[in-house]
Amino acid sequence: MKKEHYRLHLPHFHTPGQQFFVTWCLKNAVPSKAFEKYSMELEHLKAEIYSHKIRKTSDERIDNVKNDYQRVKRRYFNAFNEMLDVQKKPDNNLSEIRSANIISESVKYWEGKKITNIAFSIMPNHVHWVLETFEKDFEGKPDFCRIF
């Protein structure tokens, strides 16, 4: 099946009918320097993987570094989520009824047209959203998700 590719800060690949877990947060929900250590470690491991590939190092060594990268990425993700959960009273509380209604309506905008909402949770300073894109549009053509 054809994949759609675009590049902003990272390469993104979308296949019609794919499920996504999306989290977004308020700008000041996480201090900008809070995860510098993880970011530096991830960049170092990415460079190491690239270097090993260029030098044609053994697949086993490359796999070990890739596993290290995934381990650090999981630690980063867990630390990020813990940091979001610590802040209970942000300046703008997304879970207050007015904000929550706006977010809820926004999340539901493409429901039945391009996506199926599986679940979403509105927290004081962030939102979690699980959705699935449609495989075909109303004309039966592959529906590449352009809602993000």
Task: Give the pLDDT score at 12.
Answer: 62
Contact indicator for 41, 57 with CB cutoff of 8 Å: no
Q: Tens digit of pLDDT for each residue in 50-77?
A: 998 889 888 899 999 999 999 999 998 8
Banded model confidence at residue 9, pLDDT cuts 50, 70, 90: low
Q: Please state, in angstroms and rounded to a whole number, the distance separating the CA atoms of residues 147 and 143.
A: 11
Tokens 């320097």 correspond to what residue?
A: 33
CA 127, CA 99: separation in Å to the nearest integer? Answer: 11
Alpha-carbon span 63 to 85, nearest angstrom? 33
**pLDDT for 147 beyond 70:** no
Q: Would you say 125 and 98 are in contact if contact means Cβ atoms under 8 Å apart?
A: no
Q: How far apart are CA 148 and CA 141, in angstroms?
A: 20
Query: CA torsion angle for 106, 107, 112, 118 (degrees, to 10)?
Result: -170
pTM: 0.69
Domain residue limits, the chain: 1-26+90-148, 32-89
Per residue in 84-133, pLDDT (tens digit) is: 888 777 888 999 999 999 999 999 999 998 899 999 999 999 999 999 98
Could you identify the residue written with the tokens 């381990």? 71
Q: How confident is the model at residue 3 (pLDDT cuts 50, 70, 90)?
A: low
Which alpha helices (DSSP H) does 10-145 contain, by range? 36-54, 59-86, 97-108
Between CA 60 and CA 126 the distance in angstroms is 39
pLDDT in the model for residue 91: 82
Tell me the per-residue pLDDT of 30-53, one tens digit each, with 9 for 90 and over. Answer: 877 888 888 899 999 999 999 988
